[in-house]
Amino acid sequence: MGQSRARLLGMTPEGLTPELRARLASLEAVLFDLDGTLIDTLELIMTSARHATRQVLGEALPDDVLRHNIGIPLKAQMAEYAPDHVPELLAAYREHNETVHDDLIREFPGTEEALGALRAAGYPMGIVTSKSRPVAQRGLDFFGLEGYFDCVVGYEDTQVHKPEAEPLRECARRMGIPADRCIYVGDSPHDIACGNAAGALTVAALWGPFAERVLEPGPTFALGSLGGLAELLRGVEQSVGRRRA
C-alpha cells in the first residue's frame, strides 16, 4: 500500500502515460465530494452519530462502526446501524447535527486557494455529495465557497446513490459536460467507486479520514493536498502547450 501511495503521490506530468496525459488535457470540469474533501466534518458526523445511537439504542456504537460507511446517504448508514430504528436514528442525528453544525465544521487548509487556482485556470466546478442540498449549501455558505461551484448535486437529486455512477453523471449532465471529461476528487472509497463507474478520472483525497480505504477502488491519482490537483493540471497544460484561461 505504501509503495502504491508513493507512486501515485509522486506522479508528475512527465510521468504520465500518453493516454492519461491526453485525458487530463481534455478535461472540461472538476467535481468534488464535500465532507472530508473540501470541508472537515468528521467531528460533526461522529458526534451526531454517537448522540443518535446513544439516544435511540441506549448506547453509542463503536467509532469504527460509525465511521465505516461515511460517504453514503445518511438513511443507508442508519439502516446498517439498526434497520428497525431508522426513522428515530435519522431524527436524533439531524436534530443534533443542526444544533452543533457551525461549531464543529472546519475548512481544510488551502481549500479556497486551490479552488481559486482552478477557477482562474478556467475549469467549471461542481459538488457531488450524499448530503441533502440544503445541508451541503449550509456548509458551503458558512465558508464562503458557494460562488466557486456551477452545480451541487445532493441526495435528493438522484434515485441511485454513491457508490453507483448516477450522482456524478447527473452533475455532469446538468453542467453540459460528458462524465468522462470530468475529474472527481473524494475522500472515501464510495466517492472513487462512483467516479470510476461514471468513467471520470478520480483523485483520492488523502487528507480526508479514509487515507487507506480510499485507495481500494483504484483511483487514477492520490494527492496529499488539494493544491496538488491545481499543480498537476497546470503542469499538464504546460506540457502540451495548452491554456484554458
Evaluate whether 151 touches 174 at the Cβ level (below 8 Å). yes
Q: What is the pLDDT of residues 34-49, one digit of tens each?
A: 999 999 999 999 999 9
Query: pLDDT band at 7, cuts 50/70/90?
Result: very low
Is it the case that residue 210 has pLDDT exceeding 70? yes
Q: For residue 60, what is the DSSP state?
A: P
Q: What is the pLDDT of residue 5?
A: 45
Neighbours of 114 (CB within 10 A): 22
Q: Which of 33, 35, 157, 187 is catalytic?
A: 33
Distance CA 20, CA 238 (A): 15
- What CATH number matches the domain at 2-40+106-240, 3.40.50.1000, 3.20.10.10, 2.30.30.40, 3.40.50.2300? 3.40.50.1000
Grid cell digits, residue 146: 458557494
Query: Where do the domains of the chain lie?
Result: 2-40+106-240, 42-104
> If pLDDT is split at 50, 70 and 90, which confidence band does 237 have?
confident
Q: Which helix or strand (DSSP H or E) is residue 153 part of?
A: strand 151-153
Span 120-158, pLDDT tens digits? 999 999 999 999 999 999 999 999 999 999 999 999 999
Q: Does domain 42-104 have CATH number 1.10.150?
A: yes
The yes-or-no answer on residue 33 being catalytic is: yes
